[in-house]
Amino acid sequence: MRSPALARLNYRAVSGLTRTARFQSQGFLSSRCVSTAALRSPGVAPAYQSVLKQWGQRRNASAAASAVLEAAAASPETLSQAAIIDNLDPVEAARLDKVRNIGIAAHIDSGKTTATERVLFYTGRIKAIHDVRGRDGVGAKMDSMDLEREKGITIQSAATFCDWVKKDKDGVDQKYHVNLIDTPGHIDFTIEVERALRVLDGAVMILCAVSGVQSQTITVDRQMRRYNVPRISFVNKMDRMGANPFKAIEQINAKLKMPAAAVQVPIGAEDEFEGVVDLIRMKAIYNVGESGEELKETEIPDKLKKLAEERRAMLIETVADVDDQMAEMFLDEVEPTADQLRAAIRRATIALKFTPVFMGSALANKSVQPMLDGVVDYLPNPSEVENLALDQKRNEASVKLVPYNSLPFVGLAFKLEESNFGQLTYIRVYQGTLRKGSNVFNARNNKKVKVPRIVRMHSNEMEEVTEIGAGEICAVFGIDCASGDTFTDGQLGYSMSSMFVPEPVISLSIKPKQSKDAANFSKAMARFQREDPTFRVFYDNESEQTIISGMGELHLDIYVERMRREYHVDCETGQPQVAYRETIGSHTPFDHLLKKQTGGAGDYARVMGYMEPTGALEENQFEQQVVGGSISEKYLFACEKGFNLSCEKGPLIGHKILGTRMIINDGATHMTDSSEMAFKIATQQAFRKAFIESQPSVLEPLMKTVVTAPSEFQGDVIALLNKRGATINDTETGVDEFTIYADCSLNGMFGFSSNLRAATQGKGEYTMEFSHYEKAPPHVQKELIAKHLKAQADRNKK
Ligand SMILES: Nc1nc2c(ncn2[C@@H]2O[C@H](COP(=O)(O)OP(=O)(O)OP(=O)(O)O)[C@@H](O)[C@H]2O)c(=O)[nH]1
C-alpha cells in the first residue's frame, strides 16, 4: 500500500500533507513519512513541533497523523486551513450537508413575508398561518414589530430557523436545518439586506409573476453579487391576473444578466393556477389540504406535456452553457438523469452562474414546498462557501475559515438589537463552537468577553441553547460590541471584513416636544444608532440642534414613530434636509502664516503647499511632502488633524467636503511659539482660504428613481417628473403598466410621493436610491450659500 500513497505525498503542499496524515491515520503510510512531511512543511512545522512536544515525541503511526491534523488545525496558515476544506472530515461533512443559511430578498411587496410564513408553517415551526394585513388582524410571524404589522411592510430583518424533511433519492427522510432571514424590501432599510447577505450562504430571490424584475430586484441582485451569494428564484403571485412566469425569467436573463431557466412550469394560471410540473422528475405536483400542507403527485396532464418537454430542453441547454459536465452530455446528445440534472444545476447555482426558477403562490398556499426542496437541492451548505478572514498576526494574510466544530472559534457579529433582556448580538459562527459561559475575544479591541447566554431566534421569540456549532447563526446576550465585529477564541488573530454601509443622504433636525423627555430621547438615539449604521445622530453646535440622518424620508419617519411608541417621546422635527457636499474647484497653492507674538507665549505656524481635486468625488486626501524638516512629524500630524476637521464642515454651506486633496510641502516652525494647536489652526485657515479661492461647488445627491403606474397616467407622471427637473433615461411599457427610469436630484423629490399618489389615483409606486453626487445647478448653489450666510449672520446677532 505504501507506494501509491507515497506518490501522492507532496512535501511542499500542506494540503497534500494533511491528506497524507489522513492516509496515515488509516494505516497507509509510515509515521516517519508523515513526520518528515510535517517538518518540511513551512505551514505546519512549528505547530507540529509543539504538538509533538506535548505528545512526548511519540511517533507511532496514528499519533503522528493526529499530530499533523491537530497542528494543521491549530496553525493559522492559510494552506493548512485550505487543506482541511479540500478534505472535509466525513463526520463534519455529513453534519454541514444538513445545514442551510438562507435569506429571502426581493422588491417591496413581492411576498417575502407571506412566503416565509408558509415556510414556517410547512416546517411545523408555527401552528397556523397569519397573513400580512390579513383579516384576522394578527399579522405575519416575521413582522413582529407593531409598526410592521400596521403598515404591512417589513422594517427589520427577522431571523428564524426550521427543519425541513426531504426524501433522498432512496426515499429515506433526511432532515435539514434551515436558518432563515426575512429582509425588508424598501430601499430605506437596505442595510438590513446588506448585513443579512453578508452572513448568509444562499438566498431565495422572490419576484412577482406580474411585475417580474422591478427596481428593488435590481438592487437586491447587486447586493447578492457583492457578497457572492448564490440564489434560487421564486416567481410568486401566480394566482394574480396577468401572471407570467416566463416573462419574469426572460427579465432575469436580460435585466440582471443572470442565466435563468424554469425548473417548473405552471399548471393553469391566474385564478386557475393549480400547481406545477417538476421538470427534473417530470411529475405534476398539487397542494391539498386546508392550507396546502400535503402534496399530491401525478403524471403530467396531457395538455402540458409539450410545454414541459420544451421547457426541460431549455433548462438543460441553459445549464449546459454554464456547466462543463452538462455541456459534454448536451453535445453528446445524452439525456441527463434527474440526479445528473440536479447535480449540474447545483454546481452552476453555487458557482453563481445560474439561477433555477421556481413558481407558485404563497398566499394561495401553492407550490411553496417544492421551493424549499430547491433550497436544499441547489443552495450551498456552509462548507461549500468560501469564507475568508484576515490573519492580523501574519500581515493580514487571508485565511479560509473551516466550519469545523472542533477548530478554534471565529464568529462575526452582524446585527445588534436592543431587547428587554439587554443587547442582543446576532452572530454567525464561521469556525469552531460558541459555548455558553466561554470567553471570546473581540478582534477589534482585543477585549475578552464572557458569553452569558446563547439563543436561537424565532422572530421575536427565542430558544435558549448551550452551544452553537460552526456554520450556524445564533444570538448572544450581554456582549458589548459594534455591528461588524469579529470574535475569536483569543489564540487566533483573525478578523473578517464587515458589510457595506451606504452613506445617509437625508437629514432633519429633531428635538423632544417636552424637555422632561430628554433622557429617554438620548437613550433612544443611542440605541437606534448602535443598531443601525445607516442612522446617524449628531449635535450641531452652530445651530444648537440635534440632527438625524438616514437613507430616506421613510427611514427617518419610522425612527420618529418608534421614539413615540417605544420611548413615549413626542418629537418635533424640522424640514428634511439634503446631505449636500462641497468640493474644491481647481489647483490652488497656499502659503499661510499664523503668528501671534504679542507678549507671553505666542502662536506661530507657517504651512505651504497646494490644494486640488482628487479626480473622483470620493474620499479626501492629505499628504505631506516636507523635506528638510521645516515642520516636524509631530506638527505634521496636527496639520492632518486640522485638515480632517476642515473636511467635516465646508466653508460654503457647512456641509462635508468630498474629493479634495491637500498637500503640505514646506513651512516654518518657531523655537518656542510653535505648537500642535498652532499648526492645526494654521492648516484650517489655509484650507479655508485656498478652498474659497479655488471656485468650489456645492454637490447634491442624485437619485436613481423608478416609477411604475397604470398606462393611462403615463403623461401625468412624465409631466410631474419634468417639473421636478428629472432626467428620464428609459421608459418601459407593459401590458397595462409603464415604468420610467429617471435620475433626479434628491432636493427635487421632496413630497413626490403625495404628488404621485394624487396624479395616479393612488396607483403609482416609486423607489429612489442614491446613485452619486453631482454639482448642484448654479441657482441652487447660490440659494444655499445665501441661506447659510444668513443663518450665520442671525446667529452672530444673538
Ligand atoms: N395575489 C397574491 N398576493 C400575494 C401573494 N403573496 C403575497 N401577496 C400579498 O402581497 C402583499 C405583500 O406581501 P408581503 O409578504 O408583505 O411582501 P413583502 O415582500 O414581505 O413586503 P415588504 O417586506 O414590505 O417589502 C400582501 O398584501 C400579501 O397578501 C400571492 O402569492 N398572491
Choose one of 672, 695, 718: the last residue of a domain: 695
Check pLDDT > 80 for residue 23.
Answer: no
Domain-located, residue 652: yes
Longest dimension (CA), the chain: 103
Shared-domain flag, residues 406 and 475: yes
- Does 81 or 496 have the greater pLDDT score? 496
Q: What is the mean pLDDT of the chain?
A: 83
CA atoms of 596 and 662, how far apart (whole Å): 24
Report the distance separating Cα 401 and Cα 413, nearest Å: 16
Which cell numbers in the block locate residue 486?
469579529
Which range among 343-352, 387-396, 517-526, 723-732 shows the weakest confidence by mean pLDDT? 387-396
Q: Can you give the residue range of the structural domain that contains 462?
A: 391-496
- Quick one: pLDDT at residue 105? 86
Long-range contacts of residues 22-30, Cβ cutoff 8 Å, at least 24 apart: 22/65, 22/69, 22/87, 24/61, 24/62, 24/64, 24/65, 24/68, 25/61, 25/62, 25/65, 25/66, 25/69, 27/1, 27/61, 28/1, 28/2, 29/2, 29/5, 29/61, 30/2, 30/61
Q: How far is CA 362 from CA 153, 209, 239, 521, in A?
A: 16, 12, 9, 40
Given 637, 661, 695, which residue is the final one in a domain?
695
In a domain, 37, yes or no: no
In a domain, 796, yes or no: no
**pLDDT at residue 646 in the model:** 95
* Domain assignment present for 234: yes
Tell me, yes or no, whether 35 lies in a domain.
no
At residue 393, does pLDDT exceed 90?
no
Using an 8 Å Cβ cutoff, are 608 and 590 in contact? yes
Return contacts of 443-451, CB within 8 angstroms, 24+ apart: 443/392, 443/485, 443/486, 443/487, 443/488, 443/493, 443/494, 443/495, 444/481, 444/482, 444/485, 444/486, 444/495, 448/490, 449/479, 449/480, 449/481, 449/487, 450/478, 451/476, 451/478, 451/479
Residue nearest to atom 13 of ligand 1 (CA): 111
Q: How far apart are CA 568 and CA 521, in angstroms?
A: 9
Question: Residue 36: which of 53, 25, 26, 48 has the closest Cα?
Answer: 48
Regarding whether 587 and 556 lie in a shared domain, the answer is no
Q: Which residues of 63-83 are buried (b: 16+ CB within 10 A; e: fewer)?
A: bbbbbbbbbbbbbbbbbbbbb
- Tell me: do 249 and 314 sit in the same domain: yes
147-167 pLDDT per residue, tens:
666 666 666 667 888 889 888
Angle of helix 215-226 versus helix 190-199 axis, rounded to 10? 40
User: What average pLDDT score do residues 358-387 get?
Assistant: 93
- Binned at pLDDT 50, 70 and 90, residue 44 comes out as low
240 lines ligand 1 (CB under 6 A): yes
Residue 594 lies in a domain: yes
Each residue's pLDDT tens digit, 175-199 = 999 998 877 767 777 787 787 888 8
Is pLDDT of 710 > 90?
Answer: no
When pLDDT is cut at 50, 70 and 90, the band that residue 620 belongs to is very high
The pLDDT, as a whole number, for residue 38 is 60
> Is the per-residue pLDDT at 65 higher than 60?
no
Q: What is the CATH number of the domain that holds 665?
A: 3.30.230.10
Confidence of residue 30 (pLDDT cuts 50, 70, 90): low
Q: Is 262 touching ligand 1 by the criterion CB < 6 Å?
A: no
Please tell me the predicted confidence (pLDDT) of residue 736.
76
d(CA 255, CA 349): 18
Quick check: 354 and 260 in contact, CB under 8 A? yes
CATH number at residue 715: 3.30.70.240
Region 485-504: mean pLDDT is: 81
Cα dihedral 704, 159, 226, 579 sign? positive
Residue with cell 421613510: 554
Same domain for 190 and 333?
yes
Domain annotation covers residue 29: no
* Confidence class for position 659, pLDDT limits 50, 70, 90: very high
CATH code of the domain in which 538 resides = 3.30.70.870
H runs (alpha helix) in 486-632? 518-531, 553-567
Expressed in angstroms and rounded, the spacing between residue 235 Cα and the centre of ligand 1 is: 12
Proportion of the chain above pLDDT 70, given as a percent: 84
Q: Is the CB of 217 under 6 A from ligand 1?
A: no
DSSP 212: B
Handedness of CA 502, 503, 505, 507 (dihedral sign): positive
Do 360 and 275 share a domain, yes or no?
yes
Residues 462 and 536 in one domain: no
Q: Per DSSP, what are the bridge partners of residue 594?
A: 605
Please list the residues that pair with 212 across neighbouring strands.
208
- Atom of ligand 1 at shortest distance to CA of 108? 25
The pLDDT value given to residue 4: 30
How many whole angstroms separate alpha carbon 149 and alpha carbon 681?
53
Choose the most confident range, by mean pLDDT, from 183-192, 339-348, 491-500, 615-624.
339-348
- pLDDT at 662 (0 to 100): 96
If you search the block for the grid coordinates 506638527, which residue do you land on?
Answer: 635
CA 458 centroid distance within chain: 21
ipTM of the complex as predicted = 0.97
With 0-12 CB in 10 A as exposed, 13-18 as middle and 19+ as buried, what is 99?
Answer: buried
Tell me: do 404 and 449 sit in the same domain: yes
CA–CA dist 796, 785 (Å, integer): 17
Q: Are residues 192 and 119 in the same domain?
A: yes
Do 218 and 270 lie in one domain? The reply is yes
340 lies in the same domain as 280? yes
Q: Which residues are annotated as a binding site for GTP?
A: 106-113, 182-186, 236-239
In a domain, 283, yes or no: yes
| Distance from the alpha carbon of residue 361 to the mean position of ligand 1, in angstroms | 10
- Whether 77 has a pLDDT exceeding 50, the answer reads no
Question: What's the Cα-to-Cα distance from 309 to each of 147, 412, 794, rounded to whole Å?
Answer: 47, 46, 76
Query: How many other C-beta atoms can be found within 10 angstroms of the C-beta atom of residue 503?
Result: 14
| Element containing residue 697 per DSSP (H, E) | strand 697-710
Cβ–Cβ under 8 Å, residues 471 and 99: yes
Tell me, in angstroms, the distance from the centre of ligand 1 to residue 132's CA. Answer: 7
The protein residue whose alpha carbon is closest to atom 26 in ligand 1 is 132
Same domain, 306 and 260: yes
Look up the CATH number of the domain holding residue 256: 3.40.50.300
- Please state the rounded mean pLDDT for residues 280-299: 92
- Check whether residue 224 and residue 344 sit in a common domain: yes
Q: Give pTM, 2 decimals.
A: 0.73
Decide: 248 in ligand 1 pocket, CB within 6 A: no
Domain end marker among 461, 477, 496 = 496
What CATH number is given to the structural domain containing 489?
2.40.30.10
Place of cell 441547489: 378
Give the closest residue to 679 by CA, choosing from 631, 639, 626. 639
Which pLDDT belongs to residue 10? 30
User: Is the Cα dihedral 374, 377, 381, 384 positive or negative?
Assistant: negative
Mean pLDDT calculated for residue range 636-641: 94
Q: How far is the CA of 180 from the centre of ligand 1 (A)?
A: 18
In this prediction, residues 322-343 reach a mean pLDDT of: 91
- Decide: 29 and 3 in contact? Cβ < 8 Å: no
The total of structural domains in the chain comes to 5
Residue 409: other Cβ atoms inside 10 A: 26
- Predicted confidence at residue 746, as pLDDT, reads 86
